[in-house]
């Protein structure tokens, strides 16, 4: 008997039971995320109606009904308006963007010389891409090339007047070229200037502190339009008669000064977040002021405020559109200028051109913000508790 009285021992794991049918599958997901409560259900239905109303309209307008090619306005006009499209048609006139694409990118830059802009852009990307990818080595050399050498190369290439390259006036520049040049200069100038202003504002020397505070608060208190206005109307009054500045240069000065005031406040936030012990530790090691700031405080402070810095860059990139007001043509300015082209005057032209500009701006800004989130995660070395 005893031989048969062996207790049964399971040698393998039992299979997991399937979850209750109310908790798994698409049905459960829908119930949980869309119809959890009566209010939820109403919201869902309302949102679905909104989507069902807008989405087909947007898709039809931008893709299915859009006109992609054409020589002039007749391509985008309905029968009643003198074109060939069916009456009541509404769609994007991408043919307009297509025809003006070169203008939108380069402005009135001479067509034979556009290769110079393209070459500059290629160098720019070739230097920027390895700088942004953390795994690529030689960061220091790369940064020096990008921030110190590239401006000179770009200047020689874009402005010309040397080595047989014809001189191109900046008044001929336009489009995305202007947007990118202003943003690049703004970024390269505003970061170091902002750091210096932030240090000045936290300095123990009363006069330096006072001057920095006055500068930062005045610039932050007025709109960029006013700063640009000052740069374009008052700068000529400030210099001796006969001495003139390039209009483009004036806009650059305005944007860079404006951005550096904002940058200073961002950096100051980072400086304030560094515990006092770090400063004292550096002092006790016998480091001087610049060593203390450069080796101990700044690396930590800047890392903390990367989101703020990138937000300032994004803001500045968007603010480049304001040079339109002092009659310079960045991407938005040139799009707007071409909207009044009689050859392309249709009811859809304005919308199409502006949507195109919006997409370009959106791609740049969205890219910057995603990269900053990525960088923030990478550099997050345990300040969070």
Partner 1 sequence: MTAQDVNRAGESSRTSLIYDPRVRSIFFQVLLILLLVFGIWWIVDNTIENLRRSNISTGFGFLRGRAGFDISVSLIPYSSDSTYGRAILVGLVNTLVVAVTGIITATILGFLVGVARLSRNWLLRQIATVYVEVFRNIPPLLVIFFWYLGVLSILPAPRDSIELPMGSYLNSRGFYFPRFIWEQGAWLVFAGFVVGLALTWFVARRARARQMATGQQFPVLWTGLGLIFGFPLLGFALAGFPLTLEFPVAGTFNLTGGVNVSPEFLSLYLALSFYTAAFIAEIVRAGILGVSGGQSEAAAALGLRPGKVLRLVIIPQALRIIIPPLTSQYLNLTKNSSLAVAIGYPDLYAIGGTILNQTGQAIEIVVIFMVIYLSISLLTSLFMNWFNARIALKER
Residues engaged in binding partner 1 (CB under 8 A):
33-34, 36, 40, 43-44, 47-48, 50-51, 204-208, 211, 218, 221-226, 229-230, 233-234, 236-241, 314, 318-319, 321-322, 324-325, 332, 336, 339, 347, 350-351, 354-355, 357-358, 361-362, 365-366, 369
148/214 with CB nearer partner 1: 214
- Residue 47: CB minimum distance to partner 1, A: 4
Would you say 301 and 278 are in contact if contact means Cβ atoms under 8 Å apart? no
43/136 with CB nearer partner 1: 43
C-alpha closest to that of 326 among 240, 186, 223, 213: 223
First and final C-alpha spacing in the chain: 64
- Residue 222: CB minimum distance to partner 1, A: 5
- Residue 331: CB minimum distance to partner 1, A: 9
61/124 with CB nearer partner 1: 61
Reported as half-sphere exposure (CB side, CA atoms, 13 A), residue 206 has a value of 0
Encoding tokens for residue 324? 């339109």
Sign of CA dihedral 299, 300, 305, 310: positive
100/116 with CB nearer partner 1: 100
Would you say 193 and 256 are in contact if contact means Cβ atoms under 8 Å apart? yes
The residue with tokens 């008997």 is 1
369's CB contacts (< 8 A; 6+ apart) are 310, 311, 314
22/327 with CB nearer partner 1: 327
35/147 with CB nearer partner 1: 35
10 Å CB burial of residue 356 (0-12, 13-18, 19+) is buried
Q: What is the Cα–Cα distance from 279 to 284, expressed in whole angstroms?
A: 9
Q: Name beta bridge partners: 107.
A: 173
């Amino acid at each position: 008997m005893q031989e048969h009285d062996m207790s049964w021992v399971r040698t393998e794991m039992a299979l997991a039971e399937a979850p209750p049918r109310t908790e798994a599958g698409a049905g459960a997901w829908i119930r949980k995320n869309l119809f959890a409560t009566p209010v939820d259900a109403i919201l869902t239905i309302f949102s679905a109606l909104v989507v069902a109303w807008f989405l087909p309209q947007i898709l039809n307008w931008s893709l299915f009904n859009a006109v992609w090619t054409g020589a002039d306005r007749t391509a985008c006009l309905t029968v009643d308006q003198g074109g060939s499209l069916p009456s009541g048609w509404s769609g994007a006139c991408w043919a307009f963007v297509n025809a003006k694409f070169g203008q939108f990118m380069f402005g009135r830059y001479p067509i034979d010389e556009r290769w110079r802009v393209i070459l500059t852009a290629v160098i720019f990307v070739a230097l920027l891409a390895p700088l942004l990818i953390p795994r690529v080595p030689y960061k220091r050399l790369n940064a020096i090339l990008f921030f110190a050498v590239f401006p000179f190369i770009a200047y020689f290439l874009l402005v010309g007047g040397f080595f047989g390259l014809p001189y191109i006036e900046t008044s001929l520049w336009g489009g995305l070229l202007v947007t990118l040049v202003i943003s690049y200069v703004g970024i390269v100038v505003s970061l170091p200037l902002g750091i210096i202003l932030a240090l000045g504002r936290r300095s123990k020397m009363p006069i330096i502190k006072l001057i920095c505070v006055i500068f930062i608060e005045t610039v932050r208190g007025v709109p960029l339009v006013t700063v640009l206005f000052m740069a374009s109307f008052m700068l000529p009054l400030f210099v001796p008669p006969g001495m003139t500045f390039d209009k483009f240069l004036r806009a650059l000065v305005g944007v860079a000064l404006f951005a550096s005031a904002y940058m200073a406040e961002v950096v100051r936030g980072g400086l304030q977040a560094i515990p006092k012990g770090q400063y004292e530790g550096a002092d006790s090691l016998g480091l001087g002021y610049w060593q203390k700031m450069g080796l101990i405080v700044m690396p930590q402070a800047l890392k903390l405020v990367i989101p703020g810095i990138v937000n300032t860059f994004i803001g500045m990139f968007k603010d480049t559109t304001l040079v339109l007001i002092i009659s310079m043509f960045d991407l938005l300015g040139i799009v707007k200028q071409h909207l009044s082209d009689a050859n392309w005057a249709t009811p859809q032209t304005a919308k199409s051109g502006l949507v195109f500009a919006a997409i370009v701006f959106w791609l740049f800004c969205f890219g910057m913000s995603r990269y900053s989130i990525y960088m923030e995660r990478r550099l997050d070395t345990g300040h969070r508790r």
